[in-house]
């Protein structure tokens, strides 16, 4: 069963002679529980595609459907709720709030929703992420690998059906990269979460169930 559908997605920046087409009529679907890697050179449209799938940016035309519902029929306020509740977003640069500690950063999406934190889930997540004993450390007191673990915890705290990761190991060494991908793969395998990862890393791509290659804003291959 398909959980995510991308239909004729196009994104153009600017207009007239200065217009740049970042995505050009891209269509594909992702099955529930699938691990998909999206690869391509810089400027191929990978990050633009991920931002559209996560409701971060609106397309020029086309649609993104999650569980059959068009993401972009929502208002901007509804999209903000969508990003907190329905997808988990992981970025290369962590995007942690510097004045919040590990637990506060991880729980931020839940707290912004005005909901109670699932303490059992939080404790289990801290253990799984190897962050026990670091609960009250600020981001500048953590290594890069630990900061990325916090970012993953934040993305998973609401138990989203789909996790979208944009170069999640881009700033990490090989050991930390392997550990971060093992954590994401475990959420995919053990929790049944659908995982879509933008990557330049050949090893990550080879470990995916499926690889979509983008070139000049179009799908060059889907294997």
User: What whole-number distance in Å separates Cα of residue 214 and Cα of residue 27?
Assistant: 11
Whether the predicted pLDDT of 142 surpasses 90: yes
Domain positions in the chain: 33-47+73-222
> How many C-beta atoms surround the C-beta of residue 72 within 10 A?
15
Beta pairing class for 218-222 and 210-215:
antiparallel
Q: What is the pLDDT of residues 9-68, one digit of tens each?
A: 999 998 888 899 999 999 999 999 999 999 999 889 999 999 999 999 999 999 999 999
CATH class belonging to 33-47+73-222 = alpha beta
Average pLDDT, the chain: 93
pLDDT the model gives residue 17 = 84
pLDDT the model gives residue 201 = 87
In this prediction, what percent of the chain has a pLDDT beyond 70? Answer: 100
User: What whole-number distance in Å separates Cα of residue 31 and Cα of residue 67?
Assistant: 10
pLDDT the model gives residue 55 = 95
User: What whole-number distance in Å separates Cα of residue 214 and Cα of residue 114?
Assistant: 39
- With contact defined as beta carbons under 8 Å apart, do 89 and 54 qualify? yes
Q: What is the DSSP string of 50-112?
A: HHHHTTSS--SEEEEEETTEEGGGS-HHHHHHHHHHTEEEE-TT----TTS-HHHHHHHHHHH
pTM value? Answer: 0.92
Q: Is 42 exposed, middle or buried (CB count within 10 Å of its CB: 0-12, 13-18, 19+)?
A: exposed
Both ends of the chain: CA-CA distance in Å?
18
Structure tokens at 184: 């994401």
> How many C-beta atoms surround the C-beta of residue 104 within 10 A?
17
Whether the predicted pLDDT of 92 surpasses 90: no
Q: What is the mean pLDDT of residues 154-159?
A: 89
**For 21-75, where are the alpha helices, taking DSSP H only?**
46-53
Q: 129 in the Ramachandran plot: left (φ > 0), alpha (ψ -120 to 50) or beta?
A: alpha
């Amino acid at each position: 069963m398909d959980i995510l559908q991308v239909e004729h997605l196009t994104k153009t920046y600017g207009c007239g002679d200065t217009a740049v087409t970042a995505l050009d009529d891209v269509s594909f679907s992702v099955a529930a529980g699938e691990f998909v890697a999206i690869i391509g050179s810089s400027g191929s449209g990978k990050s633009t595609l991920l931002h559209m799938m996560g409701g971060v940016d609106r397309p020029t035309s086309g649609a993104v459907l999650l569980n059959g519902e068009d993401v972009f029929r929502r208002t901007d306020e509804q999209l903000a709720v969508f990003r907190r509740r329905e997808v988990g977003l992981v970025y290369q640069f962590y995007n942690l709030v510097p004045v919040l500690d590990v637990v506060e950063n991880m729980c931020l999406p839940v707290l912004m929703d005005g909901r109670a934190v699932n303490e059992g889930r939080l404790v289990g997540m801290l253990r799984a992420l190897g962050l026990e004993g670091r609960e009250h450390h600020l981001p500048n007191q953590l290594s890069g690998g630990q900061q990325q673990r916090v970012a993953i915890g934040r993305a998973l705290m609401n138990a989203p059906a789909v996790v979208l990761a944009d170069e999640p190991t881009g700033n990490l060494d090989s050991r930390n990269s392997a550990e971060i991908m093992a954590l994401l793969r475990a959420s995919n395998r053990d929790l049944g979460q659908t995982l879509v990862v933008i990557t330049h890393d050949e090893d990550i791509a080879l470990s995916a169930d499926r690889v979509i290659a983008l070139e000049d804003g179009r799908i060059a291959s889907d294997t």
